[in-house]
Structures are given as structure tokens and as C-alpha cells.
Amino acid sequence: MKTSYQFANLLGSVYTAGNVVFTPDGETVLSPVGNRLSIFHLGRNTSTTLPFETRKPIARVALSPTDPDLVLVADVDGRSLLADIRRRSVIASIHFKRPLRAAKFSNDGKYIAISHGPQVQVWKVPSTIGRQFNPFELHRTYTGHFDDVLSIEWSRDSNFFLTTSKDHTCRLYSRDPIVLPPDASREGSGPSTMKFRPKTFSGHRAPVISAFWSQDEREIYTVARDGACFTWRGKDLSSAGIDGGDVDSEDEAALASSAMAAGNLTHEAARIATTRWGLLKRNYFSRPDTRVTCAAFHPSSSILVAGFSDGVFGLWTMPSFDSIHTLSISSTDISSVALNATGEWLAFGAGGLGQLLVWEWQSESYILKQQGHYFDMNAIAYTADGSVAATGGDDGKVKLWNVESGFCIATFSEHSAPVTALEFSKGGAGVLFSASLDGTVRAWDLLRYRNFRTFTSPSPCQFGSLAVEPNGEVVCAGGTADSFDVFLWNVQTGKLLDVLSGHEGPVASMMFSPNGSGMLATTSWDRTFRVWEIFRRTATVEPVSLNAEGLAIAFRPDGLEVCVATLDGQLGFFDARTAKQTAVIECRRDIAGGRSVDDKISRNANAGGAAFTTLSYTADGGALLAGGNANFICLYSIAERVLLNRWQLSLDLSLDGTQDRLDSRKLTEAGAADLLDVVANEDELSVQERIDRSLPGAQSGDMAKRTTRRKARTKAIRFDPTGRSFAAATTLGLLVYSLDAPGLLAEETFDPMDLEIDLTPSAVRGALAKGDCLLALVGALRLNEVPLMRQVFDAIPIEEVPLILARLPNADKYVPSLLRLVAMQLRPNGTPILRSTSGSPHLEFNLSFLSHLLSIHGRLIQRNANRGEFATASRAVGAALNELRKSVRRMADDGVHGAMWMWDGLGRAEKKAKQAAEEQGAGQDGVDDIEMAL
């Protein structure tokens, strides 16, 4: 089997911290999610996450205005990556040694300015053509501020830029040194006044968070954290004079010309360099007990957007400062705001709740409204076709995610405690079951998106595990507190059928046999696992002893084998019918995690607590996927009992368990430096805002400050029904790994079988030209090149398909490849889910080929439906047919609505024609003529 699964997407988390950015076309939003960067395509209604990671959470994102594929991401420590979005790769990296509060590309795309504490550094943008030994080149360093710089804004010609700081001032710098004529300087003539000096804008009583240029760059707007918005207007030398004297227009033109000649500047740059700025107007947002957290400005429409700490944002027109719109969009402060190129869409990021919103202020409607789970994810489940994934979290919510688009399509919030387990009904009825610590099991109708059934136990009990019988008639849940029984309910009536007693500890996991035999396997902390036959309760169920506490259990797809994960880090394999142990795999070294910042023991001793807590078999049953309380996901071969591959969840050093060695330099007398309760921006937070009420699982909040850190671990893991990808519910979100990940397309990989020296693409095309379609088809399948297989497949005459399939040699080897090829041709979006290339337009031929293939080799496919490559290929065909059915149904509905609209329009036209004929006195003859004409 293939083990080259690569990171494909991140679901369940849309925004954490940092700034959101619009692309120059205004159709795409870039949002930092932890130490990764997510891209939301608003026009195509899709989202994807780039595969590269920073060492710590992203704090600043900057996008080039001339090259929309070039982006700079910087983490909280100042380590930055320059990446290409289209190629999904890193071009260069640099460590700025200090955290970046601001980063901005110049409008010509040649420079990038970054804040370096109280200083500002301007770097030349590296070339994207080839690799360089030292790609980043420092242009200049600018000083003058006495505290951290918070924002940078370039002028239109990229010769000047504005900076704002926590020292309550704003300053105007020139990118290059400018030499001015003596008469154009601010003070008296002399050698010391020949250079341009940075201008300082003072008067604010709080940190200045943003500064903006007006459209004509004759005004500057500064916004402070206390809600003050000042307007600064340039005073021309002709109106202000020098040293108290007046200057006429001829002198002004002469001064501007001399400045242009002396400094080799454009007219606009010379005007800014020779302008004296003065305070024109003071305005205030007038929102008491709140502070301004972010601001953005659109020069062409002169619209200023400000976000506040109470979740409210407002729009004002400048310089009149007239309020246009005010709306509350979040219950926490707005962390970031951005405007698109046209000024119609506003993007907001709220880090407290993980919200990402795109608001169209003119129509007052949401373009995008997404929010992930507030706390950790606990459960994951796939629908039968793999198009929708359901997740449940500690916030008590159940969310449905479209796997192809990456967006949340529904949220259920009826649970009042963390959701612990999720399962879809296998019968295709569109029913989702969820178990929670609130003592209920709920059934959700995915057609009407409502909770239609709630199952409870006779006495209060918290449910930690869930299983659904393959026919969808029985649902059962296991208790983790107050009761350690297994409860069974009838889905149709909602009545309690039975209570299975015997476990003496919390029921950690359970699963029904996929073959429909009615066997239910459960494992518990009492160091046993049991196999119950719920439809035949004649024999006593004997417990099977384990070496340690049972944590997870899984059935092989054929129902003949059971795998149990225990607390001692082992995977035990048992025969489902005889309960005899067949094999064991020692996995503790494979899953051994890293160190926590407060560890008092060595790494080897810390690895003693690592164990798997979730298991999932592959579709063919040949391998087992396992995850647990560590930073790794492991894939094991069942036959060889060896580790095939291992994936690391995250490289984020701000999480516990991601580094093998601790840095002794961060150990202080008070403990680890990362655990000290230090507020980085004390002047930006009030006393009430410093209180952390985010205790996981609590609804009313907690007044005590916690210093615990998140740990990288896997709560649940599942393969999708096709076997082409798997998803892991982790503390970071829902990580999706796929064989068809973007950047690793099937067309670009060479994976042949039975390769011979005479087997070449030219030989296959030669056989096709001679009319030997069978030889060409077999050769293309052996080469396994997707473009070649598609070419041969489309060239086969439809009348020869039955004969070719009947004469197919080694059917057990080539039939799975043919099934995957047909599924590839049927999918309207190509082979990988996340790609946008078109599939084959020959729909009738594809369906006819599939019909003949199933008719001729149906028994072979049915006999091996749950084994080997047949399982994944069959499920891929099923998913493609289901997607095709949805597309045809959608097209038919659109056609019906269009026909009804045309029919109604025809009726209205006929009625109007009759009325017009009657009014004009045409009589019945005229009406009849009009009816015949219609």
C-alpha cells in the first residue's frame, strides 16, 4: 500500500492571532492559524492551508502588492519565512532577532520595512528567480522612536513611510537620504540643514496604533489606542512662509524644482519632502471603557475602519469624520481588520474566539463567517462518501466541514458539555450520532440540520465512547463516570433496549463489527476488553485480560480481527471469534514525545507515559493508523508488524511536547521563563482584560490565571472511506493528510508496476495507433501515468469495451487500477479533491465502461470488496458516482426552476398582450391573433 500521505489542509481553525491580509485582487484572504498560513478564496468558496510552518505562532503577515504570490510570515520571536503561495514553498528565511510588531512591503515591491523594537529596518526584497547565498540585504536602519514601533505605512511612490509607536508619536521617514536646497529646509540656511530630517507628529496621549495617507497624500490620519483620531494637513511653503516671510508662487515653483534637482526626486516626493505638517483637527470615536485594537483605511474612498475591544467595529468618512456604520460582530476584541482593493469588503479576525469574518458594509451582509472550535477537538467522523467530516470539541459544539472546500457548513450547539465521540449511520440515512459528558447521546438529521432524537440513561451518566450498529438500528454508549455500563438504544423509538454490565472501570472505547454480525467490542480501564453479541445473548461474555488499561479499540474492515491499544504503549491484535492474541507491537519508542517546559525528569522517563488513544484501520485492512498523547501519528503494517511511516503534528515550539531538549538558558530562579505570568503589553490591557477566564470545559468562567500550555496530541483519527486521505482531530485543529495533496499531484509521480525495458509511452501510443486497444490499455496501466491512461481510455471504441474487458489478463491485478481510472474520469474536479482541473467530458462512455466492468468482473470485485486495492478503488468509484448524482440533481433542479420562470414570464406576457389588445379596442379577433402569435 502507499504510505506517502502528505499534509493537505487544516480544518477546524480559521484564525488564531496576527493580522489578516487581502490579496491585491480582493478575492482572497490570508489568515494566520497558529504557525501555519491559511488562504480563503472568497470567489471559489474554498480554503487551503500552506504546508510550511514557522517555529512559533505567526505574529505578522505581509503580502507583496506587485507579486501577489510573494508573502512574508514572521513568528512571535522574529523568525521569518519568505514564501511563494502558488508553489507552496519557502524561498528564503531570516531571523530578525526581535519580535516584529509591523511589516510592510513597499508599493513598488522592491523593499520591505519591518519594526525592530524602537527602530525600523528596510530590507531589499530577495529575488524569486534563483536561490541566493544571502538573499536578504539590509538597506537602512531608522531611529528616532523611544518605544516599540506598531505600524508602518508607505507612500504611493515608496520614497517615504509613516511609523507609529507606543511612545505616543508618529514619524515620517524618507527611504533614501534626501539633500534639500538651503531655502527649502525648515530652519535657517547652513550646511547642517541640507538633509531631509524625519518629521514628528506628537500630541496623542496613548500609543498610536496606525497612520494613513490620504488619496492625494496632502493629509495624514493617526489613530491612537484611546480612541483619538487626528488629522494632519501639509502646509505648502507658499502659504506658510519661511522665517515669517511670504513666498509667492514663483518662489514655490523654484523651491520645488531645486528640491527635485538636488535630491533627484519626483514632483510628488519633492512636495512631501518640502511640506510642513500641522494638526488640523482632533476627532474621537466616543466609545467609553473601550480601546481601539486595530484600524484600516481605504484611500480612494476615504473610509476609515476601526475595531474596538468590545467586538464592535465602525466606519467613518475622512476628513469629515462622519459615522457611516457601526456593528457588533464578536463578544471579544477584534484583533485585526483589513480592506480589499475596492473598499467593499472588510475582513476581521477575532483571536479570542477564533473567528474570521468578511463583511460587505454596503449591503450589510456576510461574505464569509467562519469559526473553529473554541477548545480542543475530541472526535472526528466521515460520511459514507467522504465529502463531509464532523468534529466535536470541548466547547460542546458539533461542526460539519466540507472536506473539498474546507468550510464549516453547519454547527450544532445543543450539548452543554464536551463532545467525546461521533459516529455516522452506515445505512446512508444521513444521520449523525454524538455522545457527550452532559449525559446525552443525540441524533442529528443532516437533511434538515436538527436534533431529532435524544437518548439518555436511567440514572445520570457521562458518556465517553459511542458505537452505531452498521444497519443504523442500534446505538450504544459507554459510561466514564458514575456508571461503567454500556447502554443500548433503539434509534427508531428512542427506547433503552439493554444495559451491558461487567466493566469495572470507565469504558474508553467501543466499536461494532463492520461485517454486520452484531459483535460489539469494548475496552475499559479495568484492563480488559470484551466482545458482546448483542443480538444473541445466550452465552456469557468472558473478559479478555490485558497487560494494562485499555485506551482504544478497532475492528478490521472484515470483522475478523480486533486491535486494542493499552496504556503501556502496546498494540495487541486478537482474533475476533476466539479472542486469542495473535500478535503484539511495542510502540512506546515510536510515539515517545518531547519535553514539557516544566518537566523535572529526563526525556526517557517522560516517554514512559506515551500511549495510543485512537486507532483506525485502512480501507483494505493492511495497515493500522494510531495516534495519542504525543506529537506523532504512526502507520503500522499489520502483516510485518513494523512501522511504515510517522508524521509529526507540529513544529510549533510554543506547544509542549514538540522539542526533545529543553533550553537551560530559559530556566530562572522563579521557574521556566515561558511559564512566568508576564503581560507583554501592560499598557494595552486593563485589569479586567488580564483575567483569563478560558478554563476548558467551564461555562461561567474562572477568576484565576492559568499558566498551562497546550500540548500537541491527537484526540481522534479516521481514514476517509476511499482510503486516499485521513484526518486527525488534534489540539491544533483537524489535520488532513492525503495522497493527492496539492503540490504532489498524481500526474507528477512515476509509480509503475511490472516495468520492462520495452514498455515505454511511445510503445503504448504505437499500439493504440495500430488499433490494439487491449495491449495499449494494459501497457498504460502498467506504466501508471495518468495522462497516458486517460489518452488510451478515451480512445477505446465503445463497441470494443466488452471484448477488451473479457480478455483482460490478470484481472485481479488490473481491475482495481481500472476502477480508480473510471473514478478519476467521473469526478468533475479531477483526481484529487483539492484540485480544480477538469475531468473527462465523456460521461456516457465512462458510465458504459463502468457498467461493462461491473458486469464482467462483478464477482471478483464483490469477493474482494473489503481487501487490498479493491476496497479503496471501490469506495473511490462510489464517491465519484455520489458526487455525479449530486451534480446531475443540482443541474436538473436549476433546469426546472429556469423552465418555471420562463413559463411564468410567458404567461405574464400573454396576459399583458390581451389587456393591451382589449384597451386598444382590437376586439376578439385581435386577441385571437395575438394568442396565435404567442
pLDDT exceeds cutoff 80 at 855: yes
Using CA atoms, how far apart are residues 754 and 813, in angstroms rounded to an integer? 11
Nearest 5°: CA angle at 349, between 396 and 220? 160
Backbone angles phi, psi at 758, to 5 degrees: -85, -5
Task: Give the mean pLDDT of 148-173.
Answer: 93
- Domain limits of the chain? 377-670+709-738, 799-887
Q: Which residues of 368-401 are buried (b: 16+ CB within 10 A; e: fewer)?
A: bbbbbbbbbbbbbbbbbbbbbbbbbbbbbbbbbb
Say how far residue 502 (Cα) sits from the centre of its chain.
43
Taking Cα atoms as reference points, which of 479, 489, 474 lies closest to residue 526? Answer: 479
Using CA atoms, how far apart are residues 238 and 249, in angstroms rounded to an integer? 6
Contact indicator for 532, 486 with CB cutoff of 8 Å: yes
Q: What pLDDT, on a 0 to 100 scale, did the predictor assign at position 186?
A: 45
Q: What pLDDT, on a 0 to 100 scale, did the predictor assign at position 688?
A: 43
Higher pLDDT among residues 44 and 677, named by residue: 44
Q: What is the DSSP string of 226-277?
A: TSEEEEEEEE-HHHH-BTTB---HHHHHHHHHHHHHHHT--HHHHHHHTPEE
920 pLDDT band (50/70/90 cuts)? low
Using CA atoms, how far apart are residues 773 and 780, in angstroms rounded to an integer? 10
42 pLDDT band (50/70/90 cuts)? confident
Using CA atoms, how far apart are residues 914 and 911, in angstroms rounded to an integer? 5
Hey, what's the cell of 186?
Answer: 525648515
Using CA atoms, how far apart are residues 232 and 201, in angstroms rounded to an integer? 8
Q: Which residues pair with 162 in a beta bridge?
A: 153, 172
The residues, ordered by sequence, that sit 6+ positions from 923 with a Cβ below 8 Å of its Cβ are none
Please measure the distance between the N-terminal and C-terminal CA atoms of the chain and give it in whole angstroms.
Answer: 65
Q: What pLDDT, on a 0 to 100 scale, did the predictor assign at position 257?
A: 59
Taking Cα atoms as reference points, which of 618, 725, 614 lies closest to residue 387? Answer: 725
Hey, what's the cell of 464?
Answer: 465517553
Hey, what's the cell of 931?
Answer: 394568442
Taking Cα atoms as reference points, which of 688, 683, 724, 715 lies closest to residue 703? Answer: 688
pLDDT exceeds cutoff 60 at 552: yes
Out of 347-351, 450-454, 898-902, pick the least confident: 898-902
Taking Cα atoms as reference points, which of 385, 381, 382 lies closest to residue 826? Answer: 385
Residue written as grid cell 520595512: 113
The single-letter DSSP state of residue 205 is S
pLDDT exceeds cutoff 60 at 193: no
Round the average pLDDT of the chain to a whole number and report it.
82
Q: Which amino acid is at 838?
A: S
150 pLDDT band (50/70/90 cuts)? very high
Hey, what's the cell of 835?
Answer: 484540485
Q: What pLDDT, on a 0 to 100 scale, did the predictor assign at position 207?
A: 93
Q: Which amino acid is at 777?
A: L
Taking Cα atoms as reference points, which of 837, 778, 786, 764 lies closest to residue 811? Answer: 778
Domain 377-670+709-738 has CATH 3.40.50.200: no
Say how far residue 497 (Cα) sits from the centre of its chain.
41
Helices vs strands, H then E, count in the chain: 14, 58
797-842 confidence digits (pLDDT tens): 888 888 888 888 888 788 888 888 888 887 654 433 333 334 456 7
Hey, what's the cell of 135?
Answer: 538573499
Q: What pLDDT, on a 0 to 100 scale, did the predictor assign at position 846?
A: 85
Spell out the alpha helix ranges (H) of 85-231.
none
447 pLDDT band (50/70/90 cuts)? confident
Using CA atoms, how far apart are residues 431 and 402, in angstroms rounded to an integer? 16
Q: What pLDDT, on a 0 to 100 scale, did the predictor assign at position 680?
A: 47
Q: What is the DSSP string of 746-788?
A: GGG----SS--TT--HHHHHHHHHTT-HHHHHHHHHHHT-HHH
The residues, ordered by sequence, that sit 6+ positions from 182 with a Cβ below 8 Å of its Cβ are 189, 190, 193, 194
Q: Which residues of 89-120 are buried (b: 16+ CB within 10 A; e: fewer)?
A: ebbbebebeebbbbbbbbbeeebbbbbbbbbb
255 pLDDT band (50/70/90 cuts)? low
Q: What pLDDT, on a 0 to 100 scale, did the predictor assign at position 562?
A: 92
Using CA atoms, how far apart are residues 721 and 402, in angstroms rounded to an integer? 15
By residue count, the chain amounts to: 934
Q: What pLDDT, on a 0 to 100 scale, did the predictor assign at position 202?
A: 92
pLDDT exceeds cutoff 70 at 758: yes
pLDDT exceeds cutoff 60 at 362: yes
Backbone angles phi, psi at 521, to 5 degrees: -100, 130
Of 415-424, 714-723, 861-870, which one has max mean pLDDT?
A: 415-424
Task: Give the mean pLDDT of 218-228.
Answer: 93
Structure pTM?
0.79
Using CA atoms, how far apart are residues 11 and 29, in angstroms rounded to an integer? 16
Using CA atoms, how far apart are residues 818 and 853, in angstroms rounded to an integer? 9
For residue 557, whether the previous peptide bond is cis, meaning omega lies within 30 degrees of 0, is no
Q: Which residues of 463-494 are buried (b: 16+ CB within 10 A; e: fewer)?
A: bbbbbbbbebebbbbbbbeebbbbbbbebeee
517-533 confidence digits (pLDDT tens): 788 999 999 999 999 88
196-221 confidence digits (pLDDT tens): 789 999 999 999 999 999 998 899 99
Using CA atoms, how far apart are residues 390 and 368, in angstroms rounded to an integer? 20
* Alpha carbon separation from 371 to 313, 440, 700 (Å, rounded): 18, 25, 21
Contact indicator for 425, 431 with CB cutoff of 8 Å: yes
Contact indicator for 520, 468 with CB cutoff of 8 Å: no
Task: Give the mean pLDDT of 561-579.
Answer: 90
> What 3-state DSSP class applies to 58?
strand
* Alpha carbon separation from 672 to 78, 194, 842 (Å, rounded): 21, 53, 64
Question: What is the arrangement of strands in the sheet containing 160-165, beginning at the earlier edge strand?
Answer: 149-154, 160-165, 169-174, 199-202
Hey, what's the cell of 884?
Answer: 455525479
**For the chain, percent of residues with pLDDT exceeding 90:** 33
The single-letter DSSP state of residue 179 is B
Backbone angles phi, psi at 596, to 5 degrees: -100, 155
507 membership: H or E segment, kind and range: strand 507-512
Hey, what's the cell of 290?
Answer: 473601550
Cα torsion angle, 372, 374, 376, 378, sign: negative
